[in-house]
């Protein structure tokens, strides 16, 4: 195993004083992790260095053909002042799954989890203290060979940057309004929907902007072929409570396999609840709504953990859910997951990774 060379910054930045104003992804810490790939050496030269700009040849492949993949994970400060991460090996495995689709060479999962933990230890003072805050961890890989032919790059860079982030719910867990997107699609089976590939997010922006103009927080994507089956919400997976069934769209290549999603499914099963992964159409949801059987809907993702959905709006027809309140299953899952993530509840599945 290679060892990580550490070069400490000579001038540390002041830490944000007011943690209620952190927001998301605006402030970055003093150091970052970098590692390079070449055909001859494989992944090599892992280093933790002062945070700095990246210099690229204008012909660098990522700028033209988008071989760029990323991850999103968090480190949390517990009440005992320890620092932990949540299932980090899952994020590194997903980086390899998506990387394979984009011809990006795989990384060593255990090595990268260790390297990220090392970076977080060096930046421990940047992990915020207030309730609901965390240190967001953004690993990413991009191709940087200078050439204009369309073929996989011969060289890559992997970086990890860190950003202290505020509570997603400044005013407490609040239901969001969702616009059902029926013009554009996010992904199709056989495409790159299951990868956290940069281009997927570029393709989602116009829908996101249009929905936000109408006062919606996010869009709900439908499948790319029949425009009928529900896929996911923005950067969250989605669950619906229909009578006593909790249903989430099955993974089929077009949906991102969220780690929060997988954890929610495991928890629900552990509680003996009826959770199913299957195709669910927007028509089925509308019928269930009319019959009074659509009890709850919520999104799942690292940023929000659980995001209760208060309204699903398709072409002006609003389905209002849970009387604008937080559904009981959403609340229970939120409490349990955030409790495990902050070591305030037992961790029967071994999800918590101790950094300090």
Ligand X SMILES: *Cc1c(COP(=O)(O)O)cnc(C)c1O
Summarize as ranges the residues that interact with ligand X (CB under 6 A). 72, 196, 232, 235-237, 256, 258-261, 300-302
Q: Which of 195, 187, 233 is nearest to 94 (CA)?
A: 195
Q: How far is the CB of 319 from ligand X (least distance, A)?
A: 21
Q: Indicate the residue among 219 and 288 with the shorter CB distance to ligand X.
A: 219
20: CB partners within 8 A, 6+ apart: 130, 166, 170
List beta partners, residue 143: 156
Q: Is 97 exposed, middle or buried (0-12, 13-18, 19+ CB in 10 A)?
A: middle
Q: Is 108 exposed, middle or buried (0-12, 13-18, 19+ CB in 10 A)?
A: middle
Q: How far is the CB of 335 from ligand X (least distance, A)?
A: 17
Give me the sign of the Cα torsion angle 24, 26, 32, 37. Answer: positive
Q: How far is the CB of 313 from ligand X (least distance, A)?
A: 20
Q: Indicate the residue among 30 and 200 with the shorter CB distance to ligand X.
A: 200
Q: How far is the CB of 185 from ligand X (least distance, A)?
A: 13
Q: How far is the CB of 281 from ligand X (least distance, A)?
A: 19
Q: Indicate the residue among 31 and 74 with the shorter CB distance to ligand X.
A: 74
Q: Indicate the residue among 66 and 154 with the shorter CB distance to ligand X.
A: 66
- Let me know the angle formed at the C-alpha of 329 by 328 and 331, rounded to the nearest 5 degrees: 65
Q: How far is the CB of 219 from ligand X (least distance, A)?
A: 11
Q: Indicate the residue among 16 and 72 with the shorter CB distance to ligand X.
A: 72
Distance separating alpha carbons of residues 180 and 319, to the nearest angstrom: 11
Give me the sign of the Cα torsion angle 61, 62, 67, 71. Answer: positive
Q: Indicate the residue among 46 and 234 with the shorter CB distance to ligand X.
A: 234
Extract the runs of DSSP E, i.e. beta strands, from the chain: 5-6, 31-38, 42-50, 68-70, 73-77, 83-86, 134-143, 155-165, 176-181, 218-222, 230-233, 237-242, 245-249, 274-278, 294-301, 305-314, 317-320, 352-354
Q: Indicate the residue among 147 and 353 with the shorter CB distance to ligand X.
A: 353
Q: How far is the CB of 237 from ligand X (least distance, A)?
A: 5
Q: How far is the CB of 75 from ligand X (least distance, A)?
A: 14
286: CB partners within 8 A, 6+ apart: 314, 319
Q: Indicate the residue among 38 and 167 with the shorter CB distance to ligand X.
A: 167
């Amino acid at each position: 195993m290679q060892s990580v060379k550490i070069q400490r910054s000579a001038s540390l930045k002041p830490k944000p004083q007011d943690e209620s104003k952190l927001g998301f992804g605006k402030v970055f810490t003093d150091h970052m992790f970098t590692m390079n790939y070449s055909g001859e050496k494989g992944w090599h030269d892992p280093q933790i260095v002062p945070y700095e700009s990246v210099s690229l040849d204008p012909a660098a492949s990522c700028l033209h053909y988008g071989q760029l993949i990323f991850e999103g994970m968090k480190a949390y400060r517990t009440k005992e002042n320890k620092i932990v991460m949540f299932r980090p090996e899952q994020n590194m495995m997903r980086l390899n799954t998506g990387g394979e689709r984009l011809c990006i060479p795989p990384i060593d999962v255990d090595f990268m989890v260790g390297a990220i933990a090392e970076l977080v230890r060096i930046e421990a003072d940047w992990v915020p203290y207030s309730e609901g805050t965390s240190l967001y961890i953004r690993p990413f890989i991009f191709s940087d060979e200078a050439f204009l032919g369309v073929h996989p790059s011969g060289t890559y860079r992997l970086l990890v940057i860190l950003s202290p982030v505020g509570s997603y719910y400044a005013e407490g867990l609040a239901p969001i309004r969702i616009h059902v997107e029926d013009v554009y699609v996010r992904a199709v089976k056989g495409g790159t929907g299951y990868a956290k590939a940069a281009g997927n997010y570029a393709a989602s922006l116009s829908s996101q902007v249009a929905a936000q103009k109408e006062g919606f927080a996010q869009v709900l994507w439908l499948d790319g072929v029949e425009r009928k089956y529900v896929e996911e919400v923005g950067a969250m997976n989605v669950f619906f409570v229909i009578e006593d069934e909790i249903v989430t769209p099955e993974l089929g290549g077009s949906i991102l396999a969220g780690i929060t999603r997988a954890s929610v499914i495991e928890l629900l099963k552990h509680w003996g609840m009826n959770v199913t992964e299957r195709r669910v159409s927007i028509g089925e949801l509308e019928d269930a709504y009319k019959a009074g059987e659509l009890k709850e809907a919520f999104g799942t993702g690292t940023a929000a953990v659980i995001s209760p959905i208060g309204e699903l709006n398709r072409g002006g027809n609003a389905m209002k859910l849970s009387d604008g309140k937080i559904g009981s299953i959403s609340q229970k899952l939120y409490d349990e997951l955030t409790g495990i993530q902050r070591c305030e509840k037992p961790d029967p599945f071994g999800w918590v990774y101790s950094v300090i």
